[in-house]
C-alpha cells in the first residue's frame, strides 16, 4: 500500500520510502510545526506484521532508548519516539547525501577506486562515532557501553556537507540489555560479523573494529571480502578468514594503511586495536603525511561530484534518500 502523503502523529508527513529492513521501514518525511515550520526528517516505523510481536516491539523500543542517549556529531541523532496508527515510530536526523555503498558503486561504475585518503578520513569519523558509543556512561556516571554490531556500508552516511555519520543502532545492545534478544539469532550482516560473535560471544569494541576493518578492506579492494551463495557459505568463509593481502590487489596503498587494516582484521580480538581511539590515531597519523586535504570541505566536494555522477549514469533511479 502506498502511504506517501500519510501523516503520522499529526505532524510528520511521509514523502518517500527510503528503505526497508528486517524490523522496520524508513521514510523520508517532513516534520511540520507552528508558523509554517518544516524540516526533513527520517521516520522509521516498525513493520505491521511485527507490530504485535512483543520481542520485536521490545527491540524497537530498545533501539530508541539507546540511540537517543548517543549525542555525537558523527552519530545520526534521534528527535522523537511515539506510537500512532497501531505501531511505534522513531524520528531521526535526515542526512542528505549518499551511503558508503552507493558512493563506492559510483566509482565501480567508472572502473576506478575511491581515493584511499578519503576512505581513511571517512573511517576516522566512523571511529569517532564508535568511540562515543563504546565510551557511553549512564546517568550515574557508570560505564554503559553500546556496541553497534552492524557497521556496514549502508549504515555509513556521507553527507553533502562533508560530515560522515554512523546510523542504525538497531542491533546495538547496551550492557544492561545483553540478554534481551532472542536466542539463536545471529545479529548483523554475516560477512561483516567478527568471528567471535558467530559463537555467541558478547560484543566488544574489538568486534566493531573488526567490522570496520572489513568495510575498509572492501572499499579499498573494490570487491567483497567473504563470498558465498548462501548465508552458510558466507559464514564459513568468514570463519576461515581467507583474507587476501590488499597489496596483491593494489600496489598504490601506503604500507601504514595496509598494516592498519590488517590489525583491525586479526582473528584474535586481543590482537586488534585496543580501542576505536587507537585505530583512529593511527589513521590520523597516516593522513598528516598525505599532501591532499581530507577536511569536510574536500569531502563535501567529492560527495557532490559522486552523487552527480550517479544521477548521470542512472537517470531513472535517483539516489535514495539517506536515513
Please report, in tens digits, the pLDDT of each residue of the chain (323 residues total).
678 999 999 999 999 998 877 678 899 999 999 999 999 999 999 887 778 888 888 888 888 888 888 999 999 999 999 999 888 999 999 999 999 999 999 999 999 999 999 999 999 999 999 999 999 988 898 998 999 988 999 999 999 999 999 998 866 654 434 433 444 344 447 889 898 887 778 899 999 999 999 999 999 999 998 887 777 787 777 777 778 899 999 999 999 999 999 999 999 999 999 999 999 999 999 999 999 999 999 999 999 999 998 888 765 444 444 33
The three grid cell numbers given for residue 306, joined into one nine-digit string:
559522486
The three grid cell numbers given for residue 148, joined into one nine-digit string:
553497534
Last residue of a domain, one of 54, 69, 93: 93
Same domain, 138 and 209: yes
Same domain, 124 and 155: yes
Residue 175 · residue 145 · CB < 8 Å: yes
Residues designated as active site = 150
Please count the structural domains in the chain.
Answer: 2
Residue keyed to cell 573511517 = 123
Last residue of a domain, one of 40, 73, 93: 93
Last residue of a domain, one of 42, 65, 93: 93
Instruction: Please indicate, yes or no, if residue 318 is contained in any of the structural domains.
Output: no
Same domain, 246 and 298: yes
pTM over cut 0.75:
yes
Per-residue pLDDT of 70-97, as tens digits, reads 999 999 999 999 999 888 999 999 999 9
Judged by DSSP in three states, 290 sits in coil
Same domain, 156 and 276: yes
- Residue 16: enclosing H or E segment and its boundaries? strand 12-20
What is d(CA 100, CA 198) in angstroms, rounded to the nearest whole number? 25
Per-residue pLDDT of 158-217, as tens digits, reads 999 999 999 988 666 544 344 334 443 444 478 898 988 877 788 999 999 999 999 999
The three grid cell numbers given for residue 164, joined into one nine-digit string:
560522515
Residue 234 · residue 225 · CB < 8 Å: no
Domain of residue 81: give its range: 7-93
Same domain, 151 and 166: yes
Amino acid at each position: 500500500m502506498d502511504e506517501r502523503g500519510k501523516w503520522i502523529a499529526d505532524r510528520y508527513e511521509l514523502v518517500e520510502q527510503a528503505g526497508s529492513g528486517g524490523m522496520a521501514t524508513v521514510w523520508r518525511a517532513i516534520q511540520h510545526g507552528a508558523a509554517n515550520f518544516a524540516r526533513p526528517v527520517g521516520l522509521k516505523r516498525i513493520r505491521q506484521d511485527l507490530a504485535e510481536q512483543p520481542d520485536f516491539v521490545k527491540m524497537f523500543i530498545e533501539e530508541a532508548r539507546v540511540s537517543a542517549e548517543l549525542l555525537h556529531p558523527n552519530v545520526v541523532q534521534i528527535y522523537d519516539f511515539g506510537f500512532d496508527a497501531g505501531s511505534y515510530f522513531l524520528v531521526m536526523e535526515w542526512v542528505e547525501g549518499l551511503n558508503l555503498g552507493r558512493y563506492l558503486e559510483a566509482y565501480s561504475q567508472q572502473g576506478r577506486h575511491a581515493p584511499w585518503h578519503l576512505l581513511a578520513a571517512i573511517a576516522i569519523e566512523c571511529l569517532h562515532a564508535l568511540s562515543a558509543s563504546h565510551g557511553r556512561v549512564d546517568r550515574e556516571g557508570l560505564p554503559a557501553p553500546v556496541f553497534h554490531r552492524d557497521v556496514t556500508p549502508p549504515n555509513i552516511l556521507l553527507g553533502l556537507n562533508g560530515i560522515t555519520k554512523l546510523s542504525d543502532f538497531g542491533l546495538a545492545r547496551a550492557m544492561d540489555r545483553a540478554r534481551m534478544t532472542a536466542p539463536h539469532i545471529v545479529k548483523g550482516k554475516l560477512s561483516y560479523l567478527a568471528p567471535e560473535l558467530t559463537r555467541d560471544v558478547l560484543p566488544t569494541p574489538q568486534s566493531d573494529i573488526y567490522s570496520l576493518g572489513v568495510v575498509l578492506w572492501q572499499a579499498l579492494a573494490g570487491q567483497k571480502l567473504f563470498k558465498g551463495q548462501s548465508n552458510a557459505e558466507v559464514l564459513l568463509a568468514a570463519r576461515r578468514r581467507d583474507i587476501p593481502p590488499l597489496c596483491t590487489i593494489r600496489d598504490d596503498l601506503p604500507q601504514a594503511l595496509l598494516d592498519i587494516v590488517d590489525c583491525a582484521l586479526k582473528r584474535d580480538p586481543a590482537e586488534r586495536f585496543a580501542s576505536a581511539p587507537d585505530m583512529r590515531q593511527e589513521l590520523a597519523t597516516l593522513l598528516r603525511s598525505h599532501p591532499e586535504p581530507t577536511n569536510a570541505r574536500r569531502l563535501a566536494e567529492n560527495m557532490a561530484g559522486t552523487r552527480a555522477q550517479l544521477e548521470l549514469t542512472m537517470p531513472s533511479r535517483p539516489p535514495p534518500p539517506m536515513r
